[in-house]
Chain A
Amino acid sequence: MISHHYRRAILPIATLGIASLVLTGCASGSGGTDGAGGPGDAGDADGIVTIYGTIADTEAELLEESWAAWEDENGIDIQYEASKEFEAQISIRAQGGNAPDLAIFPQPGLLADLASRDYIQPAPEGVKANVEEYWSADWANYATTGDTLYGAPLMASVKGFVWYSPAQFAEWGVEVPTTWDELLTLTQTIADETGTAPWCAGFGSDAATGWPGTDWVEDLVLRQAGPETYDKWVSNEIPFSDPAIVSAFDSVGEILLNPEFVNAGFGDVKSIVTTPFGDPARALGDGTCALHHQASFFDGFIQDPKNGNATVGPDADIWAFVTPSVEAGGNAVTGGGEIVGAFSNDEETIKVQEFLSSPEWANTRVKLGGVISANNGLDPASASSPILQQAITILQDPDTTFRFDASDLMPGVVGAGSFWTGMVDWINGKSTEEVLSTIDASWPSE
């Protein structure tokens, strides 16, 4: 009886044993095609170049329009695919061997992650030449990992604008502040004038909830501790629990954690976390909210008919000033942008990559409206709105100290993970110390 059972089981087990022996032969590299020595050759010249990115809806249509003429001239079909889940999907597609030819990265940190794991092709000669000629060393640096340049910047945005209503300011008899302390005084003045909270804020953004909060902290770190400390913070030479970062959090807390100063039109301090980041546009437009901190793209939200159609400009309904420095006359700004990285290195992909790094493309795209680029070959007159013209002026001013959004430079698990959730916990009342040590603990292992 037993022997009968035993014989019945022995064959499948033997088969299994042989199968697993065969299988263990195929080890899986956790990197690109062959682990060491770069990503090797990928892609083929088939007349189609696929591009993957976060830019969606109207902006995606404008993007496709910007290269339509070039496609016909060169006989290359550029197929653009947009996804709101880009940050999650790109690493999955790269690790799964299903990467696009080119990807438009809003986070240099993510590009660096992929580059250091041998998924990204080093920038071709033509792109290198364009970057040297048309972009500042700072920008070239954001696309560089180790000593290798991996791509060229594409578009840019200037962050840290404070949106306000010039008419309301005139009514209350207040001026645009020139220092951080003046901004706090101004806030107190408006609060006394109106008896309501002056600031509105919204951190809500589905899976990315918390990111508008990181912009606040970055602005304060850059202005209080200076660009050198900022760079050290980005590269984790100083941790989040460093006094410089703690004091930036405390300064932001003077506004965002003060129930008398927030959240105009939405409720108490905790409502910041549940308010979608686009909603304050409506509160600004109808005058219930006096001050709002957000990047240059926000003029699109303010002018959206769904939010009440307010106009944006120096003499219009709503205008903006750059978040003031600690000392008057500071000129440090934070900003964001995209870097185009390549997974393939066939001729056609290289051609498209070179075209996207040229001033011709930048001018074509900026003329279509809504965006700017840090490309020095860009004519400020191409920009479509007052806020964008101001942003280009800031970017092209040689005196400007420009720093890329820190959370976009940090590794994904922090910059697009624990830093965001940390901001949410912090607004919900967790102590600064606890939040910062949690973020530090999540920093990637080596």
Chain B
Amino acid sequence: MSAFLAWISTLPALAQIPLVLLAFFAVIALLIFFLEVAPRTGRKFTIIRAAACVLIPGLVFLTLGSVLWAAAAATLFGALFFYLDYRSKQGAGYLFQLVGFLSPAIFLLGIGLIYPTIQTTIQAFMNSRGTRFVGLENFIWIFTQDTGIRTVLNTVVWVLIVPVVSTIFGLAYAVFIDKSRGEKFFKVLVFMPMAISFVGASIIWRFVYAVRPAGQEQIGLLNQVVVWLGGEPVSWLSNSPWNTFFLIVVLIWIQTGFAMVILSAAIKGVPLEQLEAAELDGTNAWQRFTNVTVPGIRSSLVVVLTTISIASLKVFDIVRTMTAGANETSVIANEMYSQWQGFEVGRSAAFAVVLFLMVLPIVIYNARQIKKQREIR
């Protein structure tokens, strides 16, 4: 992949565009081809399918060099082919197919997910060189010194604020623009930040918060506004604890669009009959919203809240790019990386385990919710 991109970058600019587009379309065409052959019977197609299940993850691994992505691709394709096959009720030997299609994915998941999890957990109880068992020492270190406690607390603050605020904003926006004229345009407007990478968004916001001494020209939007209003420029990112909130704004800005799109789709799924019945019973708009719409979209709300919670637990790029954890803004993922970089493998792994334990309840809750819904259906 990088070799291909490096080769492309040596060409003139105008030649690059069609080539990249061509490569993109080639990949899409391949995808469609596989979807096309998936449900057909016959030995030839079976061989093509089986080969695809091995080759595609292999290719993904070679291009991205990441076992996790390869595992994801293998899972996706294995599951997809199997599902399509199963649906077409043509293939005999169901169990044989299940194992045949899923074993590459399970094998790769073993290498890329399960084994590292076990290894990290072991490392968290070892010293930095991995030569001596130190028990809970690394965890004690995290929870007995200022920076460690601060880091965990900051992560908790992120998880408490981002999902709630993003969801409220997203929901309010979705309700207000529902059935309005130009709804599509308004949706695109809010959804746009989703398309920007975290690092890109962080750089944009770092400029927004940029500060220059009083009397000089301000290059930061926010401080220019403050100066216009007759105030002194504030250095937003260096005053704890408020700086963490200024970083949180960035993630809210990114995630609101996501919440809005999902919730907007859910709102459209609330049966009109119920809303009309409520109206005939003499309810006002607010009562209809709280008693009919919200219960109707409860499952989507749970999905949105949990997804954003996990995203804010894992937040790394924003903090790394904007403050690198200085001025008491560090979060667990950032500290994990910094410690590992300084060869403190044990402490780094301990942070990873703490993060894992914090994510776990959210994931379990999410899984149980999905299961409940299945029972209802």
Residues on A facing B (Cβ under 8 Å): 7-8, 11-12, 15-16, 19-20, 23-24, 28-31, 87-88, 91-92, 113, 117, 206-207, 209-210, 265-267, 270-271, 273-275, 411-413, 416-418, 420-421, 424-425, 428, 434, 437-438, 441-442, 444-446
Contact = CB atoms under 8 A, between A and B. Distances in A.
Contacts of B46: none
Nearest to B342: A413
B329 to A, nearest CB: 10
B344 A438 contact: no
B147 A438 contact: yes
A23 B145 CA distance: 36
B235 A441 contact: no
A92 B341 contact: yes
24 contacts: A11-B99, A12-B99, A15-B106, A15-B107, A16-B109, A16-B114, A19-B107, A20-B110, A29-B130, A30-B129, A87-B341, A92-B341, A117-B343, A271-B235, A273-B235, A275-B213, A413-B338, A428-B239, A428-B327, A434-B146, A437-B146, A438-B145, A444-B343, A445-B128
Given A30-B129, A265-B213, A421 B325 contact: yes
Contact of A442 (B114, B147, B325, B346): B147
Contacts, number: 123
B95 A8 contact: yes
Interface string B63-107: 000000000000000000000000000000001001100110011
Contacts of B107: 15, 19
A15 B99 contact: yes
Interface residues of B, number: 48
Which secondary structure characterizes the binding site on chain B? Answer: helix
Nearest to A421: B326
A290 B211 CA distance: 23
Which secondary structure characterizes the binding site on chain A? Answer: helix
A67 B129 CA distance: 38
A16 B110 contact: yes
Given A207-B324, A424-B327, A445-B346, A267 B238 contact: no
Interface in B317-344: 320, 324-328, 338-339, 341-344
Contacts of A421: 325-327
Contact of A8 (B98, B115, B328): B98
Interface in B222-266: 235, 238-240
Interface in B107-159: 107, 109-111, 114-115, 118-119, 127-130, 134, 137-138, 141, 144-147
A425 to B, nearest CB: 7
Contact of B339 (A19, A113, A270, A413): A413
Contact of A23 (B111, B138, B341): B111
